[in-house]
Amino acid sequence: MLFGGFFLILGTLHAPAQDRKESLVNDGFYTRETIQQRKPIPYQYVRESDVLWSKRIWRMVDLRQKMNYPLYFPTTPMQDRESLVQRLVRAIKYNEITAYDPVDDEFTTRMSYEQVIKNLGAEDRVEKQIDENGNEVDVTIKGEIKWSSIKELLIKEDWFFDKQTSTLQVRIVGICPIMHDMRILQTGEEDQEETGEITKKQTFWVYFPEARTILANTDFFNSFNDAQRISFDDLFFKRQFDSYIIRESNVFDNRLISDYTFGGVQTMQESEKIKTDLFNMEHDLWEY
């Protein structure tokens, strides 16, 4: 089926949650314990007086990029690994971390696990059905999270120059999973192509410093060696993901890049310009 006229808009998305089942036996020839006992690498202490310059950045991580596959897969529950969002949702369920409402990105409103599930479109629903006797009855349909619909991550971070070490450093502040959905628009004419509309929805925010412990204890798939996996915290600490900048702190209500460009190539060029300015900020402070 062909779709034409795709548009990016904000909207609601309907999707689902599955509880991960535990294996009844040791699924392997040895017990994996190393990752579960790891602690996050501590950040170097930074004094306010040592911060010579700082800039807040928002960037988008497209999970469909090959480099970001370890964050995206698996899209179905598995015994030996979880995707990043699956681990975050499980941590919210068992009160290991707190979820925040995406009404803003400043962590002002807490969300319960039930609210997160509702935002993911995975709440149970009641439908009218006809039973074998021809009677109309209410049937409860259990909701399930459609993990494959979570295709992007919005990351909020702070870049700063530490004059004590003369280095440009970065600290991730928060992560927000974004769900996609395709809605078919009926044109009413048989000879025309059906038009699709892509809806995007911010589901919940997680305060990254709080989540580092559970991310340090969760490994992701290593394509080269199953015995040598690293944690999600290591992935973010080493910046082993692909992303592009969508916003920087500015006087105009922190407006998006797309708000003052004409979209397309110009938006990506402005994103690359901000990225280059960050690099030059550190480079230009040195004398050769």
Question: Both tokens of residue 256?
Answer: 């998006």
Measured between alpha carbons, how far is residue 44 from residues 47, 131, 156, 158, 286 in Å?
Answer: 10, 64, 19, 15, 22
Range from 49-53, 140-144, 224-228, 276-280 carrying the lowest mean pLDDT: 140-144
- Residues 199-203: what's their mean pLDDT? 94
pLDDT single digits (tens) 142-181 = 888 999 999 999 999 999 999 999 899 999 999 999 999 8
pLDDT, tens digit, 9 for 90 and up, residues 260-269: 998 889 999 9
Query: How does DSSP classify residue 44?
Result: P
SS3 21: coil
In whole angstroms, what is the distance from residue 25 CA to residue 72 CA?
27
Tokens of 233: 């915290």
- 148 versus 188: which is more confidently predicted? 148
Is the pLDDT at 7 greater than 70? The verdict is no
DSSP run (H or E) holding 269 = helix 265-283
Whether 45 has a pLDDT exceeding 70, the answer reads yes
Tell me what the pLDDT averaged over the chain comes to: 86
Is a pLDDT exceeding 70 seen at residue 56? yes
pLDDT in tens, 237-257: 999 999 999 999 999 999 999
The model's pTM: 0.83
One-letter amino acid of 252: F
The one-letter amino acid code at 124 reads D
Is 230 or 68 the better-scoring residue by pLDDT?
A: 68
Q: What is the pLDDT of residue 19?
A: 58
3-state DSSP call for residue 179?
Answer: strand
Structure tokens at 33: 């314990």
The rounded distance, in Å, linking the Cα atoms of 22 and 168 is 43
Q: Does residue 193 surpass a pLDDT of 70?
A: no
Parallel, antiparallel, or unpaired: how do β-strands 51-62 and 125-130 relate?
Answer: unpaired
**CA distance linking residue 220 with residue 238, whole number of Å:** 14
Taking the C-alpha atoms of residue 246 and residue 257, their distance in angstroms, rounded to an integer, is 6
Q: Look at residue 37 in the predicted model and tell me its pLDDT.
A: 79
- Mean pLDDT for 186-194 is 58
H-helix or E-strand spanning residue 273: helix 265-283
Quick count: other Cβ atoms within 10 Å of Cβ 203? 26
> Could you tell me which residue, 235 or 189, shows the higher pLDDT?
235
Model confidence at 3, pLDDT cuts 50, 70, 90, reads very low
Q: What percent of the chain has pLDDT over 70?
A: 87
pLDDT band at 116 (very low <50, low <70, confident <90, very high): very high
Ramachandran angles phi, psi of 219, nearest 5°? -95, 160
Q: Is the pLDDT of residue 1 over 80?
A: no
Among 73-82, 108-117, 188-197, the least confident range: 188-197
pLDDT at residue number 27:
75
